[in-house]
Amino acid sequence: MHSPRGDFTAHPHATDQPTEVGPVDHIFLGLKANQYAACGPLVRPMLHDGTTIIAAQNGIPWWYFHGMSGKYQGHRIESVDPGGAVSAALPVHRAIGCVVYAATEISAPGQIRHLEGTRLSIGEPDGTQSARCREFADAMIAGGLKCPIETDLRRDIWVKLMGNIAFNPISALTRASMIGICQHMSTRGLVIEMMRETLEVAANLGVRPDISIERRLAGAERAGEHKTSTLQDLEKGKPLELDAILRAVVELADLTGAAVPVLRVVNALADLLSEQLELAAA
């Protein structure tokens, strides 16, 4: 691990056989959202009746409407839970939400470059302060991380999504870094409009992030030459995690009646890019 906080080498206990691990209290999932539907065999041997699943993902999670009151309670978002496959692999009653605020890159196999951020905000889908959240947070804090328990984690989801929904697909389409996108006036304007449309969808769902677009832009610009996770995946020939980041928001716009013309255009371009990558890999 190469970090401004100090470099170090970790030697974790690791196995590719989850049966060797057996039932655990908490599973911290570091997979991409597009891998969730197939991860049942990985997770199942580690479950007991009270096991929680904490997924460190970008975008809209599969559990988004679980534990939420109102007309959308229990609604399934097809973009992130196609046919209910993800809910079958990762039951929503086990989910603890997680939003990660950290900029990192895989610089080489087994080597991580940490640029900034050590916070993992977590929270119950129903907004309660649960014992299982506190237990997990205490473990993260003991490891030197920040792990606040939020009563409205959906607000954090949309705050982070404001950046991901714009920078991730644009970086994949242009190969530009965060600062490159911010300092190019045309793409800066595009980011602003994508963020504005995203906030409209969030507002239609009753969420109003308390952060301005300019402040969100300034935070992204401070990341400098950082490559988004989507661009890193593109360069490594991996599938792109854009369904949860972009397609899901367009689906939520259809659900709530929000007008998102710019998001629809970028989603169409990103979808074509993903299709071309799949064809090239076949």
pLDDT digits (tens, 9 = 90+) for 139-185: 999 999 999 999 999 999 999 999 999 999 999 999 999 999 999 99
Residues of the chain with CATH 3.40.50.720: 18-152
pLDDT digits (tens, 9 = 90+) for 220-243: 888 778 889 899 999 988 899 999
Q: Is 236 known to be catalytic?
A: no
H-type alpha helices, 213-260: 213-221, 229-235, 248-256
Annotated catalytic residue within 32, 160, 227, 238: 160
Backbone angles phi, psi at 237, to 5 degrees: 75, 20
Question: Counting every residue, how long is the chain?
Answer: 282
- CATH superfamily of this structure's domain 154-281: N-(1-d-carboxylethyl)-l-norvaline Dehydrogenase; domain 2 (1.10.1040.10)
Q: Which two tokens stand for residue 207?
A: 């969420």
Handedness of CA 76, 60, 263, 234 (dihedral sign): negative
pTM of the predicted model as reported, rounded to 2 decimal places: 0.93
